[in-house]
Amino acid sequence: MIKNTIASLLILLILFAACGGKKEEKTTASNDPPVLQSVTLLPLNPNVRSEITARILASDKNGDPITYSVKWFVNGDEIGEGMSFTYPEIKKGDKIFAEVTPYDGKEYGKAMRSGEVTIGGTAPRIVSVSVIPEMVYVTTTQITLNALFEDVDQDEIDLVVHWLVNDEVLTNTSNVLQTSGLGLKKNDVITGAAFADDGENRSEGFPFEITIANSPPAFKMKIDSVKCATDSVHYALPIFDPDGDPLSFELLGAPDGIMIDKDNGIIYGTAGQTEVFEVFVRATDAEGAYLDAQFTLAAK
């Protein structure tokens, strides 16, 4: 009986040893959380129109893929999450930073804050320009260039103008150009570019072009009443052409006996016993520009 019992125990020990002696315990490998090396905000000098993104450098010892939770702060207040930042209420001078937390699917790593960027000004824009006077002649003494601006920052804007006259860049950069001494002639072209400057940023140049127009005839002097011998009138009209173009003259109204030299603009003839009379004339240049004038001729 004892022998049989010992034999049975030996068989059980052999079977137990054949099965591995004891039950194996399963082990789980340890995980290292991801680590952030740097967080940089781009662009480095944003403005209110910029989309700001976070450039993130991170590593994971276990080679796990990393995702990120990004929180955005404006002037210290959290305003949203996401990999990029836009904020309709952002304004010049606001300070932005991001806080990034990495995640490898198992554990969150230590959060890191980016450096702070400041929202800078946006360059203004010129929408249109206008010239005063609208028509510029050789007799025009001053040209003023005005501009309509657009500036999201609502800064005070200065208008800077680069003038180019007869292929020469002028040192004057104001929006007012004094034309005396420039030697302008009919059909000359003044070109240039206007810039809107807010003290920090300057707009792209807005090109303009001003052509010196044909001048109508003009008075050498303004005379309303002329003393002359009415029975022997000879009066040279004080009218000239600023461009030096030849003029033709015509009589629009005068007493019988009064005529006009069409090429030289001389009124002549006789008005008889008339003491005072009116003369209406028109002077016209080669391009059709004209001047109508009225003179009162009175006996000496």
Among residues 169, 186, 211, which one ends one of the domains?
211
Q: For all residues of the chain together, what is the average pLDDT?
A: 89
Which residue in this structure is represented by tokens 């140049």?
205
Answer yes or no: do 191 and 244 share one domain: no
Answer yes or no: do 40 and 91 share one domain: yes
Show the tokens assigned to 30.
Answer: 């340890």
Which pLDDT does position 113 carry in this prediction? Answer: 97
Amino acid identity for residue 169 in this structure:
V
Dihedrals phi, psi of 73, to nearest 5 degrees: -130, 135
Looking at the predicted structure, is the pLDDT value of residue 14 above 80?
no
Looking at the predicted structure, is the pLDDT value of residue 53 above 60?
yes
Looking at the predicted structure, is the pLDDT value of residue 119 above 80?
yes
Among residues 177, 211, 245, which one ends one of the domains?
211
Residue 7 resides in a domain = no
Answer yes or no: do 63 and 131 share one domain: no
User: CA 193 from chain center: how many Å?
Assistant: 11
Over range 140-150, report the average pLDDT.
97
Q: Which residue has the higher pLDDT, 231 or 124?
A: 124
Answer yes or no: do 93 and 129 share one domain: no
Amino acid identity for residue 133 in this structure:
P
Residue 12 resides in a domain = no
Which pLDDT does position 231 carry in this prediction? Answer: 80
Residue 6 resides in a domain = no
Residue 185 resides in a domain = yes
Which pLDDT does position 21 carry in this prediction? Answer: 47
Summarize pLDDT for 55-83 with one digit per residue, the tens: 999 999 999 999 999 999 999 999 999 99
User: Residue 146 is part of a domain; what is its CATH number?
Assistant: 2.60.40.10
Which pLDDT does position 227 carry in this prediction? Answer: 85
Residue 228 resides in a domain = yes
DSSP code string of the chain:
-HHHHHHHHHHHHHHHHHTTSSPPPP-----PPPEEEEEEEESSS-BTTPPEEEEEEEE-TT----EEEEEEEETTEEEEESSEE--TT--TT-EEEEEEEEE-SS-B---EEPPPEE-BPPPPEEEEEEEESSS--TT--EEEEEEEEE-TT----EEEEEEEETTEE-S--SSEEE-TTS---TT-EEEEEEEEE-SS-BPPPEEEEEEPPPPPPEESS--SEEEE-TTSEEEE--EE-TT---EEEEEEE--TTEEEETTTTEEEE--TT-SEEEEEEEEEETTS-EEEEEEEEEE-
Summarize pLDDT for 193-213 with one digit per residue, the tens: 999 999 999 999 999 999 999
Show the tokens assigned to 149.
Answer: 């601006």
Looking at the predicted structure, is the pLDDT value of residue 4 above 80?
no
Which pLDDT does position 2 carry in this prediction? Answer: 42
Answer yes or no: do 41 and 97 share one domain: yes
Answer yes or no: do 47 and 77 share one domain: yes
Show the tokens assigned to 230.
Answer: 């009415």
Residue 28 resides in a domain = no
Which pLDDT does position 133 carry in this prediction? Answer: 97
Query: pLDDT-based confidence at 22, cuts 50/70/90?
Result: very low
Residue 3 resides in a domain = no
Summarize pLDDT for 164-198 with one digit per residue, the tens: 998 899 999 999 999 998 999 999 999 999 999 99
Calpha distance 82→211 (Å, rounded): 55
Summarize pLDDT for 212-246 with one digit per residue, the tens: 999 999 999 877 778 888 788 999 999 999 999 99
Amino acid identity for residue 159 in this structure:
L
Among residues 211, 238, 267, which one ends one of the domains?
211
228: burial class by Cβ within 10 Å (0-12, 13-18, 19+)?
A: middle
Show the tokens assigned to 268.
Answer: 């002549």
Tell me which residue of 291, 297, 253, 299 sits closest to 275, measured CA to CA: 299
Answer yes or no: do 223 and 267 share one domain: yes
Residue 10 resides in a domain = no
Answer yes or no: do 240 and 199 share one domain: no
Q: Which residues contact 220 (CB under 8 A, 6 or more apart)?
A: 238, 239, 240
Answer yes or no: do 114 and 130 share one domain: no
Q: Are the C-beta atoms of 70 and 97 separated by less than 8 Å?
A: no
Sheet holding 247-253, edge to edge: 225-228, 290-299, 276-285, 247-253
Show the tokens assigned to 44.
Answer: 């480095």
Over range 143-166, report the average pLDDT.
95
Looking at the predicted structure, is the pLDDT value of residue 141 above 60?
yes
Could you tell me the residue range of the domain that residue 260 belongs to? Answer: 218-299
Query: pLDDT-based confidence at 3, cuts 50/70/90?
Result: very low
How many structural domains compose the chain?
A: 3
What's the chain's Rg over C-alpha atoms?
46
Looking at the predicted structure, is the pLDDT value of residue 1 above 60?
no
